[in-house]
Structure 1
């Protein structure tokens, strides 16, 4: 039985997304500031990648570096970022949210 392996590359810039596609990636996780752990890319970056690269693109939604426990205001921004990314053609969203004790914030992740 053949394995269906999908090669996904985390791309922190348009240039790295182009390189990922040229290198054979079938999907990218698009973000900015990858050296800082990654944050939400700009809407223009999402649009450019979707329009020009024609590659399955999952967008990281993370408003800042640091921990993954977000305030109410940050959570509202994240929800808007999700809708905006989908409107620009994102195939999926990558997100993580924790409670202050390090457990998964299941209420907000629904």
Structure 2
């Protein structure tokens, strides 16, 4: 399963046309990806039949959210249900650097039947292994964990990612690992040599010149899918 970041209807159209399996819909990718506007998500869902995962992230200051931000997130999740996305992408931590379990449980309640991906807020926690174990206790409610394994590039966390993937395979009601950050057509064979995995997330690496302002390219999607489908 290859998930590609999209920001607009053209991205969504090209992602589907060139063979991506799913799209993560964001705005403000220069800020790391924020919640898309109502108009954007409606038009993106209209432009592509790919399953859409909508980012729920009201600001880029941190992954710590106060009450005002939480209210916005609840409203945005209501919007996600209205426009017909497959799921939401969320991650929140406490000021002390732990998984914000109170907010996570609220998000699980708010999302209803939507799928939930917990994103790379995990990498911002003070103890990634302890935080990973906390998230595992919510395995029935979290569909996927988007992670690099704790490093800027997932390529530098292959042993940990392999162990986490094995954990998810041993526990049927666990979330699946969605490997992201640093995944490129140029290195997907290296990932697969260690992980032999099926679920990857890419952003600029799927585009011309690795630039979010440029189009998604068929040849890049083809290379990624050829290697992923060997897994």
How many matched pairs? Answer: 105
Equivalent residue in structure 1 for 2:85, among 81, 87, 90 = 90
Q: 1:18 deviation in Å?
A: 2.3
Q: For 1:1-110, list aligned pairs within 5 A.
A: 6-110=1-105
Once residues 61 and 19 of structure 2 are traced to their aligned partners in structure 1, the CA distance between those partners, rounded to angstroms, is 31
Root mean square deviation, CA, Å: 1.1
Query: Per chain length, whose mean CA-contact separation is higher, i.e. which structure has more relative contact order (CA < 8 Å, sep 6+)?
Result: 1
1:46-81, Cα deviation, whole Å (9 max, x unpaired): 111212211100000000112100110100100100
> Unaligned regions of 5+ residues in structure 1, if any?
1-5
Q: 1:93 deviation in Å?
A: 0.5
Once residues 81 and 20 of structure 1 are traced to their aligned partners in structure 2, the CA distance between those partners, rounded to angstroms, is 24
Q: Which has the larger radius of gyration?
A: 2
Q: Output the TM-score relative to the length of structure 2.
A: 0.44
> Unaligned regions of 5+ residues in structure 2, if any?
106-231
Question: In terms of mean alpha carbon deviation, does 34-43 or 19-28 score higher?
Answer: 19-28
Q: Output the TM-score relative to the length of structure 1.
A: 0.89
